[in-house]
Amino acid sequence: MSQTIFVFGCTGQDGSLICQSLLKKKFKVIGFSRKSDPNRNNHELLGISKDFEIHQIDFKNPKVIKKAIDRFHPSEIYNLGAQSSVGKSYVEVSETLESIVNATVNILQSSKEVQYDGKIFFAGSGEIYGETNLAAKRSTPPNPQSPYGIAKACCLNYVKFYREVYKLNCVSGILFNHESILRSDQFVTKKIIKNALKCLKNKNHKLKVGNIDIARDWGWADEYVEAMQIITRSKILKDQIICTGTLTKLKDFIQITFEKLGLKWEDYVEIDKKLFRRSEISRNFGNPIQLKQELGWESRLKISQIIENMINHEIIFCKDNINSTH
Ligand code: NAP
C-alpha cells in the first residue's frame, strides 16, 4: 500500500496541522484546495509550504475525485474541508450544505466507484448534538440547532451508510471545538484574544461580544489531528467523539484572557444583542471516555494553556497589535 496521503481542505486550521503531523511522520502528503491559487499562509507559519504540493479540486465533480484517487492510490484520505463557521451557516445555508454534504457524498460515491480500499476520515462536529445537558456520547441522539449542525449530522449518516452497506473503510471523528495558533479571525476565541491585546494597547478599546453565558468544550487542535489519525488507523473503524469533556463558559474564556494580560475584563467588554444567535446552544460538550477506553487517546491541554498559547502566538506574530508583551 502506498504511503501517500490526501488531505482535502489542507489550507485550513486542521488541514494545515495534519499535513505538518503527517510530514513529520514521513508520509508523502498531497493537499487539495478549491482554489487555483490556494492561501498558504498557515503552511508558511508552520514552515511546511515547500514540503508538499497542492492540487486544485472541484468537489462538485466526482470525475476529478475519482481521477485523483486512481492516479495516486492514497493509503488514507482526510476530508477536513468545509464552510466551518456555525455563525456563517445561518446566512450561507446553501454553501454550507454544498461544502459539507455534497462534498462528502461525492467523495464517498467516487471512492466506492473506483473500489478504493484505503481509509477515509471525515470531520464531523459536536454541533450535531445541539444542547447537551449531559456530555454527548456516540449513543446520544443528534439534535442540531444550526444549518451547519444539520449538514454535519447528515454526513455522519452517509459515512455510516457507506461503511455498513458498501464496506468502504470510512469513519467520522465527531469533533468538539478546538483551537490553535492558526484559528481564523472569524471565530470568537481569536476575536477575544486579538481584541484583548488591542485593549492592552488602547485603554478605550472595547470588545463587543454576544451571549457570554454559553459554554463550550474547547480543546487543542494539534492534539485533535493526532486523534484523527488514531481513529483512521484503528483496526475496527468506529465513529468517535473527540473532545475534552470539560465545559468552559465564554465569560470565563474572556476573564482568563484579560487576566493573563493584567486587565479587568469588565472594563473592556460590551454585550451586543445583535451578536446573539437565533438558536443559541447554551452548553455543548462531549464525553471523551469511549475514545480513551477504545483507542487510548485523551486530550491534554487545559483551557488556560490553550489561551496562553494563542496569546503568545498573537504577540509574536502580530506585533502591530501590541507594543509591549505581558
Ligand atoms: P477551517 O480552518 O475553516 O478550514 C476549512 C477549509 O475548508 C478551508 O481552508 C477551505 O480550504 C475549505 N473549504 C471548502 N469549502 C469551503 C467553503 N465553502 N467555505 C470555506 N472554506 C471551505 O476549518 P477547520 O477548523 O480546520 O475544521 C476542519 C474540519 O473540522 C471542518 O470540516 C470543520 O467543520 C470541522 N470541525 C472543526 C471544529 C473546530 O473547532 N475547528 C469543530 C468541529 C468540526 P480551501 O479554500 O483551500 O478550499
Q: Is residue 91 part of a domain?
A: yes
- C-alpha 85/C-alpha 311 separation (Å) is 22
Same structural domain for residues 26 and 174? yes
Q: pLDDT of 197-242, one tens digit each?
A: 999 999 999 999 999 999 999 999 999 999 999 999 999 999 999 9
Amino acid at 112: K
Three-state DSSP class for residue 276: coil
**180 CB under 6 A from ligand 1?**
no
Of 69, 56, 147, residue with least CA distance to 110: 69
Query: Closest ligand 1 atom, CA of 79?
Result: 32
pTM of the model: 0.96
Residue with the nearest Cα to atom 20 of ligand 1? 83
Claim to verify: residue 88 and residue 237 sit in the same structural domain: yes
| Ligand 1 centroid from CA 149, angstroms | 14
Are 149 and 237 in the same domain? yes
Is residue 168 situated within a structural domain?
A: yes
- CATH of residue 61's domain is 3.40.50.720
Clarify whether residues 202 and 305 are in a common domain.
yes
Please give the residue range of the domain that contains residue 276: 185-217+246-283+301-317
Residue 228 grid cell: 484523527
Q: Whose CA is nearest to atom 11 of ligand 1?
A: 9
Residue 294 located in a structural domain? no
Question: For the chain, what is the domain count?
Answer: 2
Question: Burial, 187: exposed, middle or buried (Cβ in 10 Å; 0-12, 13-18, 19+)?
Answer: middle
Residue 93, pLDDT score: 98
- The Cα–Cα gap between 288 and 293 comes to 9
In a domain, 293, yes or no: no
Q: Note the pLDDT tens digit of each residue in 267-315.
A: 999 999 999 988 889 999 999 999 999 999 999 999 999 999 999 999 9
User: How far apart are the CA of 84 and the centre of ligand 1, in A?
Assistant: 5
Cell reading at 306: 490553550
Chain centroid offset of residue 161 CA: 23
